[in-house]
Amino acid sequence: MISDPCASSLVAVDGAAVERGGNVLLRPCSAVLGTGEALVITGGNGAGKTTLLTLLCGLSIPTAGTVLIDGSAPDERSPVFRSTVAGMLGLPPLARDLTIEEQLRLVTVSWGAPDRGPTGSHAIAQGLLTRLQIAHLADCFPHELSSGQLQLTGLALTLARPSSLLVLDEPEQRLDAERRGVVARLLAELREQGRGLVVSTHSPQIVDALATQVLDLDAARP
């Protein structure tokens, strides 16, 4: 018997498309991704990048074709799906009265990390803040941060929880060239450690640092 490679893939997108009210949001596209690989999605404004990522996160369903994560259709209510996929599509909501470190620790503890120790919430939070070069902001409230610092905080919150697949919509948003490099290097390191990544971007820096495959949605436009 010949096994279907898509069924055992971390991500399998087969002719997925989205239409709404007669408008095309996403033209049919296909991709297969394994662990330790990074699919980078490119295309101009309105090409359908965010729409494709919403399918992968289980936030909407394709009107044609299929999307499978670890062999199953995305289901945002499924505990297995939720522990597989960590997505950042826009800034995550932040509590006004918690510091940046407290928000990170809340996420890590919710996902089962102990409070202390080398794998504890304090160590995870400090490690991410240091890697993203915002450790000096640990005791700040969200309203005390710049938009780029908020973007880095959102990325830290997304990376703070366990996942096999990271889905990130334009992680370079609001970041200067130096911080784009910091983020690109961290994401490449996570890929090398075996994480799967699907990342949309307008940044050649992120494409070059990260991509094992590129899906150009402009190529599907007429």
Binding stretches for ligand ATP (CB under 6 A):
20, 23, 25, 43, 45-51
Minimum distance from CB of 197 to ligand ATP (Å)?
17
Please tell me the distance from the alpha carbon of residue 19 to that of residue 175, in angstroms, as a whole number: 32
User: Nearer Cβ to ligand ATP, position 101 or 169?
Assistant: 169
The single residue listed with the structure tokens 């941060």 is: 145
Minimum distance from CB of 27 to ligand ATP (Å)?
10
Beta strand 64-69 with 196-200: parallel, antiparallel or unpaired? unpaired
β-bridge partners, 24: 19
User: Nearer Cβ to ligand ATP, position 43 or 62?
Assistant: 43
Minimum distance from CB of 202 to ligand ATP (Å)?
6
Minimum distance from CB of 107 to ligand ATP (Å)?
25
Q: Which of 24, 88, 92 is nearest to 56 (CA)?
A: 88
Q: Which of 103, 22, 121 is nearest to 63 (CA)?
A: 22
- Contact in structure between 154 and 146 (CB atoms under 8 Å): no
Minimum distance from CB of 47 to ligand ATP (Å)?
4
User: Nearer Cβ to ligand ATP, position 49 or 191?
Assistant: 49
User: Nearer Cβ to ligand ATP, position 25 or 134?
Assistant: 25
User: Nearer Cβ to ligand ATP, position 3 or 45?
Assistant: 45
The single residue listed with the structure tokens 């910091």 is: 182
Please tell me the distance from the alpha carbon of residue 117 to that of residue 107, in angstroms, as a whole number: 16
User: Nearer Cβ to ligand ATP, position 153 or 203?
Assistant: 203
- Contact in structure between 14 and 5 (CB atoms under 8 Å): no
- Contact in structure between 135 and 129 (CB atoms under 8 Å): yes
Minimum distance from CB of 171 to ligand ATP (Å)?
12
